[in-house]
Amino acid sequence: MSTRTRRYLMAMWDGGGNAPPQLGVGKRLVERGHVVHVLGDRSLAGAAEAAGCSFSPWNRGTERTEMDASDDARNDWETEEPLDVVRRIRDLLQSGPAAAFAADTAAAMASFQPDAVVPDSQLFGAMIAAEGAGLPVAALVPNLWMAPTPGTVDPVAFKIINRVVKQGLPDLNAARAEYGLPPLAAFYDQLLAADRILVLSSETLDVASPFVPNNVRYVGPVLDDPVWTEPWTSPWPESNTDPLVLVGFSSIYQNQGPLLQRVIDALSVMEVRAVVALGRVLKADALVATDNVAVARSVPHSELLTEASLMISHCGHGTTVKTLAAGVPMLCIPMGRDQDATAACVVNQRAGVQLSPAASSDEIRLAIADLLDDDGYRENAARLASVLAREHQALDVVLELEDLVGRAAPGTV
């Protein structure tokens, strides 16, 4: 069966770990013979073009132009209050700029003439423009299922979150009115009305999976390393067989510097080889390390995980599934956003343990020792790796997107 070439407009924002898997979807579509245009933050331009996609930036919507803490209007790292994070996402991504994102998406649709729109699940404005034009919409969820739907969160939390996001309904409905769409009664109905909602994760890992709506499909994680990943050369001789510990926190700013230093301090007094990947914001000269701890801007996680005995991470979704797919246990130290929920899933599978981001170096060292000494964590991580390998194939997400616009028509691949 051949597949007609289709045109997909992807709308995304640069929140760090959310972008690489979505760009990986774009790359797979291009390799399949489709044409993909990315509408997104200017900081994503190079990565989009490297994936084979054309690119244009947001002109009206809030966006990131550089990888610097001062360039992130969202600054959700400044608060530890979960509801404050919900409010910021509401006001800066979902409903506050909905009209602006919708206008940019409508302009991109007029220029690119897509067959379907594939927005990040937070970009309600892009969904509004597509809905108004009568185009199919497949929202991408680049993490675990996070929309508060019945059964996925505690009933009390469900009511509180809905009370908070309800304050964004006027902005959302005003944007919908501009496109001749009826008002919504509930905030998340904008997302839930998408033709498909594709979760780039594992239904086995995600404890919410039994409760998601019928238009949700788990299509498996996209494990591509970011295009800004640099090559790695070990500084240690081949005769050094100490356990390899990989450390990776957010690629964007979450004020992770003090925690990273405590992790380094813990590793510095242990018989391990440790590799610390800083991401795109922190500088190596801001941290003090001993000879057994190598600090780099970036490393190819997929390559090092084949040898690693342990990953220490903030538990961003991309890092987590990449680690578990390699059968490596985790020390989870979540710092906010969706990271606590992801860490809880790892702990639920007994593939790792969780510490507070305020943990001391001694507490971190003891947790590392426990994880390295207890084979049960590695066995459970290996079990999850087997599950991830058989749950989904690399083309699953592409097949869903082709089905969305009609896959069986004759044409060229």
Can you tell me the mean pLDDT for 114-124? 97
Give the per-residue pLDDT at 35: 97
Q: How many CB atoms lie within 10 A of CB 228?
A: 15
Return d(Cα 351, Cα 356) in angstroms, integer. Answer: 17
Q: Map tokens 């900081």 to a residue.
A: 43
Can you tell me the mean pLDDT for 97-116? 97
Radius of gyration of the chain (CA): 21
Give the per-residue pLDDT at 71: 47
Give the per-residue pLDDT at 409: 39
Give the per-residue pLDDT at 408: 37
Which CATH number is correct for 244-390, 3.30.1300.10, 1.20.1260.10, 3.40.50.2000, 3.40.190.170?
A: 3.40.50.2000
**Residue 412 binned pLDDT confidence (cut-offs 50, 70, 90):** very low
Can you tell me the mean pLDDT for 325-332? 96
| Tens-place pLDDT, residues 47-96 | 999 999 999 999 987 665 554 554 444 455 445 577 888 999 999 999 99
User: Is residue 354 pLDDT above 80, yes or no?
Assistant: yes
Residue 350 phi, psi (nearest 5): 55, 35
CATH topology agreement for domains 7-224+392-405 and 244-390: yes
**Residue 413 binned pLDDT confidence (cut-offs 50, 70, 90):** very low
List, in order, residues 6 or more apart from 284 with CB less than 8 Å away: 278, 295, 296, 297
Return d(Cα 194, Cα 69) in angstroms, integer. Answer: 33
Give the per-residue pLDDT at 284: 65
Helix (H) or strand (E) holding 9: strand 7-11
12-21, 217-226, 335-344: least confident range: 335-344
User: Is residue 121 pLDDT above 70, yes or no?
Assistant: yes
> What is the percent of the chain with per-residue pLDDT over 70, rounded to a whole number?
91
Return d(Cα 218, Cα 2) in angstroms, integer. Answer: 24
User: Which amino acid, one-letter code, is at 332?
Assistant: C
Q: How far is CA 271 from CA 64, 141, 243, 301, 307, in A?
A: 40, 39, 8, 21, 16
| Tens-place pLDDT, residues 205-215 | 999 999 999 99
Helix (H) or strand (E) holding 262: helix 257-268
**Closest by CA position to 187, among listed 166, 203, 170:** 166
Q: Map tokens 């989904």 to a residue.
A: 392
Residue 199's DSSP bridge partners are 141, 218
All structural domains of the chain with their residue ranges:
7-224+392-405, 244-390
Give the chain's largest Cα–Cα span.
69
- Considering the domain delimited by 7-224+392-405, tell me its CATH architecture: 3-Layer(aba) Sandwich (3.40)
Give the per-residue pLDDT at 64: 58
> What is the percent of the chain with per-residue pLDDT over 90, rounded to a whole number?
72
β-pairing, 116-119 vs 54-57, is unpaired
64-78, 305-319, 353-367: least confident range: 64-78
Specify the pTM.
0.89
